[in-house]
Structure 1
């Protein structure tokens, strides 16, 4: 059964009508992300740099973005792995459309997916999508640095937002959405178009078509891949909840204890050996002793020896 063959929602309501609680985890994520954006604007720096012709130019930078972004060496520094999550809440403060489009996508699609998954499961889905995209971004930056010598960094919630949109298309493939706020298409068609454009961008074709070279196409694809795996593998990230993680050591001890009991159960072993001996004796009665295999002979000899020892005790 394909992505667009599944029949969800047999009532007359659309996916948009299923939103019951407008104040949700999605809104909290948007508020946090926008707050970080304004912090970037508030604490920006202006640094002079000298150009090749000897003149100086003033360049704006954000210490917050630099601190929270995923860089080429993030994977090499375990103490900086928190950047694999923090980069997803940072955006280009000089381009308001970067954060605006991401938060619009999260607002429209995130609330519906949250309604479907529940607040905490959606939060786990969103954060894991960010982390997975961050790992891919770090690898991409490493490859770029080795190929060009340019140190690159990655920011933005695009990967997690793409994951949310793709998961929406999986759950509601025939729901009509509007591309560029104008063109009506079914959700599964939009999902295919998004993924196709990101694939073209990732292999470098979009650059020749006039697309921005600053778009993290590989992070978008990571988000899409994570959403598809989550949907088709029927994943549930409940095990990542704090209470589940706290119970993990006790669960491991219980499992180890059960394994030890299973491995050191002499009564069960003796009962199995007796059953095997009865089966072999029945085979001798029906087919003769010559029909026994080498393994069956060893089992019978071992059983006979154990019975003799028991009588001599």
Structure 2
């Protein structure tokens, strides 16, 4: 029963999400709804300078991967244990003692090869650059982490409901959930952009996204033992669709701006307290 309910819910959300990829003329008046950017069809991705948000993510992921890779090759036990604690482990998350894992797992990639990080970082560059140029760094990073964290929570939820004891202690790593969210946004916002499938076959972006989404959806029915979290891929797309449709207001909060405002108010309050105390003490003796 839990498996049937989960599959039904996933299929319902999947159908609702991907049917929007064909609504090419849609332009919402509601600022919280999806908008489409009709750029000229092209096969180029990530052209021009790399936007700051994408650049920061590329640098962070690459540096962490190099350290992780070397720690595995040299077998540096303390580092291996450290990275294990940064991966997403359902049994640990449920206990509530590792609230950082739904974020930190996004920066870890398989240290056994280069294909995992290569695919994710190329996709981040190709598809994320245009999104950040149109959205700005703040909204782009909000969307990226919203999809990535949501993908991780979907993976945890499914393994808690359907997994065995081993699934609950098996770590999940990688930014693929966030990347699939970027792919969904790219297919919705630039539906006519041409993508070279396998670098050979030109197809519209919306078709490319539908293919990837369909693969992720169907793979969730037989993902056991594959070593790939297809539910995280699908979860990233589901959370991406939710963000594009409803634009959660909480994610529009300028945290850095609020921090600076709080620091300014705190400094002003301290200055006022100091001036009042100084007035009460009278003028200093050395002042002429």
What secondary structure is seen at the aligned counterpart in 2 of 1:2? helix
The 3-state SS of whatever aligns with 1:126 is helix
User: Is 1:105 the counterpart of 2:105 in the alignment?
Assistant: no
Aligned to 1:32, which of 14, 36, 60? Answer: 60
User: Structure 2: where are the runs of 5+ without partners?
Assistant: 1-18, 26-35, 263-288
Shift of 1:77: 2.7
Going from structure 1 to structure 2, the CA distance change for 1:213 and 1:42 (only over 3 Å counts) comes to same
Matched with 1:146 is 164
TM-score, normalising length: structure 1: 0.65
Contact 1:163 1:224 in 2 (8 A): yes
What's the C-alpha RMSD, in Å, of the aligned pairs? 2.9
| Residue of 230, 235, 242 corresponding to 1:222 | 235
How far the C-alpha of 1:17 sits from its partner, in A, is: 8.0
Q: Note the alpha carbon deviations across 1:157-199, whole angstroms, 9 max, x for none.
A: 0000000011011101111111222221111111111111111
Cα deviation for residue 233 of structure 1 reads: 2.4
- Structure-2 separation of matches of 1:18 and 1:193: 22
* Distance in 2, Cα, partners of 1:149 & 1:30: 29
Give the deviation of 1:246 after TM superposition: 8.8
Q: 1:196 to 1:219 in 2, by over 3 A?
A: same
Does structure 1 retain, via aligned residues, the 8 Å contact 2:147–2:236?
A: yes
Aligned match for 2:107, one of 68, 75, 89: 89
Give the match for residue 232 of structure 1.
245
The answer to whether the aligner puts 1:186 opposite 2:184 as a matched pair is no
Q: CA deviation at 1:14?
A: 4.9
After superposition, the C-alpha distances for 1:15-37 in whole angstroms (9 at most, x for unaligned) are: 95896642421011011001110
> Which of the pair is proportionally richer in strand?
1
Q: Give the whole-Å Cα distance in 1 for the aligned partners of 2:68 and 2:109.
A: 9
Alignment of 1:238-277 (within 5 A): 238-239=252-253, 241-244=255-258
Structure 1 unmatched runs, 5+: 48-60, 249-313
- Aligned counterpart for 1:196 among listed residues 214, 221, 245: 214
- TM-superposed CA distance for 1:139, in Å, is 2.1
Render the CA deviation track for 1:255-301: whole Å, top value 9, x for unaligned: xxxxxxxxxxxxxxxxxxxxxxxxxxxxxxxxxxxxxxxxxxxxxxx
Q: Distance in 1 between matches of 2:57 and 2:210?
A: 26
**Corresponding residue number in structure 1 for 2:178:** 160
CA, structure 1 residues 172+11, in 2 after alignment: closer, same or farther (shift >3 Å)? Answer: closer
Q: Return the alpha-carbon distance in structure 2 between the equivalents of residues 63 and 195 of structure 1.
A: 34
State the 1:138 CA deviation: 1.9
Match of 1:114 in 2: 132
Deviates more, 1:61-70 or 1:217-226: 61-70
Map 1:259-298 to 2 at 5 A. Answer: none
Per the normalisation by structure 2, the TM-score is: 0.70
Structure 1 match to 2:10: none
Aligned length: 230
Alpha carbons 1:176, 1:184 under 8 Å: kept: yes
